Structure 1
Amino acid sequence: MAITRSHIQSAHTRIRADIRTTPVLELPEGVFGPALNLKLELTQVTGSFKPRGAFNRLRLAGDLSHGVVAASGGNHGAAVAYAAQAMGVRADIFVPEVSAPEKQARIRSYGANLVVGGARYADALAASQAHRDMTGALEVHAYDQPEVLAGQGTVALEWEAQAPRLTHLLVAVGGGGLIGGMAAWHAGCATEVIAVEPETSCALHAALAAGKPVEVPVSGVAADSLGAKQVGAAMFPIAAQNIRTSVLVADDAIRAAQARLWEAARILAEPGGATALAALLSGAWVPPRGARVGVLVCGGNTAIG
């Protein structure tokens, strides 16, 4: 199923009562180098962009009598748990051992049954799908379902209305649901969506080089949110057609971007949430002359101090 602007507009109408319209912050030249527009999706319900896709999937599902199930590094699980609680549905969330304790606590706070096991996201996914097959629960995939992509694409719809003159958008990538939805919104438009990934978790970068989704090793400081070993099949055709630039950043650059967000703007981002900015601060991506740059701060589920 191809994701179009029409799908994303419909998703926004469907879920806008369930989500927050997250703010943007205009920063003048000198704070982070060039003048920037930050989209603060870390202020979304549950602390990341993920409720957009979760609610769109659940609102379209119909029968939820067997509950819902999801695998997650943490943020998606919290979003599904929150959406299920809001709709009065049981949620079983599977996370790997790498999932941050604060993310596990947030999932539990929304009343979900949390199962922790396996070294990486792929292990949690296999366990969640076994649960799905046994119980008939509705699977809410973290990034590889059309309904999820369309929901995540509402970030781009909203941002365009708030800051219509941006020419380049820096977006962190894990499994690709967020950037897939955003690239679908901007397909055929002048605005360029730029993919940013950790050097040690670079599933989209590898897929674009190979011409198809391929498996990559996963590690690093952002592995709990960006640590997909392979991008989704649903997003890859969108990326192959619409993502012209893909850059990688080191863990040290991500940590430095986290620190700069806090020091300069008092924004407490998790590593995945700081990854897009890391591309700019580290020089991995250099804006062309005249660019009007937007940076998505996609998540803030991290410990204080």
Structure 2
Amino acid sequence: MALEQVTPEQISSIHALIRQHVRHTPTMQADLCDFGGHALPVDLKLELLQHSGSFKVRGAFTNLLTRQVPAAGVVAASGGNHGAAVAYAAKQLGIPATIFVPSVASAAKIDLIRSYGAQLVVGGDRYADALAASEIYVTESGAMPIHAYDQVETMLGQGTLGKEIEEDLPHVTTLLVAVGGGGLIGGITSWFTDRIKIVAVESDGAPTLFDAFKAGHPVDAPAGGIAADSLAPKRIGELAFPLAQKYLQPPVLVSDDEIRSAQQALWNGMRLVAEPGGAAAFAALLSGKYVPGLQEKVCVLVCGGNTTAVNFG
């Protein structure tokens, strides 16, 4: 479905619609990677500087501006970032919002959601539990659900990141993107199709896309690891998986220790505080799990910064 419904033309239209509500986040170059004795300049897209601290606000505004919102408002289930984004966008547009998050959500994300005035419900151990609870609430309240990743409007919004990256960094040949449910990489892949190489990166504690590639279809996967509050849905989205099959290779898997090292390197080198999910794509480079060729022009998407777990020294 996403192959027909999430196109570059539609993404361009959505970008024009939401651009007044979202930040065109900056890029910067990091000369900290040494591959086989040579330094590789790496461009970073700093989406951790976006409103609400992550890329998710793009999909949130797309939903609120293109769908008919009932008087009961909107409801979202989230590991944290999507909930914060929906709460922020709803506050800006004067719409009631109810957000369901699991107990694994970080304190930073819970506090952020509350700061935007949304009704917050914390319960269950993982994102799937929050999603189930939110679906019951939708039935009882009549509120409009906004899915974190497996929804056309959400994916269109996230795809605007691809448009910005191409505008700002037209030389890029390779883009590393972290994967949770697939809304981000699905939207970005829909923008670029096969014009550049897109490398999917997952936590080895939550290999949703990796396991789907092995099975040939979305399957339930483990939902653990340090980035569980942003990269650990129950399974990859039905919309994103056909795009992954068509345009991507199986994802690179990174460990918790490699993600922590990437967080440390982003802080040491550029004073960027990235959450674990936000640093996962950079971890693939830093750990050597993905080694680019000499001619590759690499960009890494640093997609979120909502964390209080900072002890970098």
Report the TM-score, using the length of structure 1 for normalisation: 0.97
Which one of 103, 113, 132 corresponds to residue 97 of structure 1?
A: 103
- Runs of 4+ that moved beyond 2 A: 27-33
CA distance, structure 2, for counterparts of residue 107 and residue 63 of structure 1: 20
Which one of 282, 289, 292 corresponds to residue 287 of structure 2?
A: 282
Which one of 166, 175, 181 corresponds to residue 169 of structure 1?
A: 175
Deviations 1:71-90 (A, max 9, x none): 00100000000111111111
Which position in structure 2 is the counterpart of 1:295?
300
What amino acid maps onto 1:92 in structure 2? T
Which one of 244, 251, 258 corresponds to residue 263 of structure 2?
A: 258
> Could you tell me whether the CA contact under 8 Å between 1:31 and 1:264 is conserved in 2?
no
> Could you tell me whether the CA contact under 8 Å between 1:64 and 1:137 is conserved in 2?
yes
**Within-5 A mapping of 1:39-118:** 39-118=45-124
> Could you tell me whether the CA contact under 8 Å between 2:63 and 2:153 is conserved in 1?
yes
Give the stretch that moved more between structures: 226-235 or 92-101.
226-235
Give the stretch that moved more between structures: 208-217 or 256-265.
208-217
Which position in structure 1 is the counterpart of 2:19?
16
CA distance, structure 1, for counterparts of residue 95 and residue 34 of structure 2: 45
> Could you tell me whether the CA contact under 8 Å between 2:102 and 2:130 is conserved in 1?
yes
CA distance, structure 1, for counterparts of residue 251 and residue 30 of structure 2: 24
Which position in structure 2 is the counterpart of 1:128?
134
Deviation at 1:29, TM superposition (A): 6.0
> Could you tell me whether the CA contact under 8 Å between 2:70 and 2:142 is conserved in 1?
no
CA distance, structure 2, for counterparts of residue 140 and residue 256 of structure 1: 34
Which position in structure 1 is the counterpart of 2:197?
192
Unaligned runs of at least 5 residues, structure 1: none
RMSD in angstroms over aligned alpha carbons?
A: 1.2
CA distance, structure 2, for counterparts of residue 47 and residue 31 of structure 1: 29
Report the TM-score, using the length of structure 2 for normalisation: 0.95
CA distance, structure 2, for counterparts of residue 137 and residue 119 of structure 1: 24
What amino acid maps onto 2:45 in structure 1? K
What amino acid maps onto 1:6 in structure 2? E
> Could you tell me whether the CA contact under 8 Å between 2:230 and 2:277 is conserved in 1?
yes
CA distance, structure 2, for counterparts of residue 48 and residue 166 of structure 1: 22
Deviations 1:57-103 (A, max 9, x none): 11011233121000001000000001111111110000000000110
What amino acid maps onto 2:274 in structure 1? A
What amino acid maps onto 2:248 in structure 1? I
Unaligned runs of at least 5 residues, structure 2: none
Deviations 1:240-276 (A, max 9, x none): 1111251100100000000010001100000001000
> Could you tell me whether the CA contact under 8 Å between 2:33 and 2:286 is conserved in 1?
no
Alignment length, in residue pairs?
Answer: 304
Deviation at 1:236, TM superposition (A): 1.0
Q: Percent identity?
A: 52
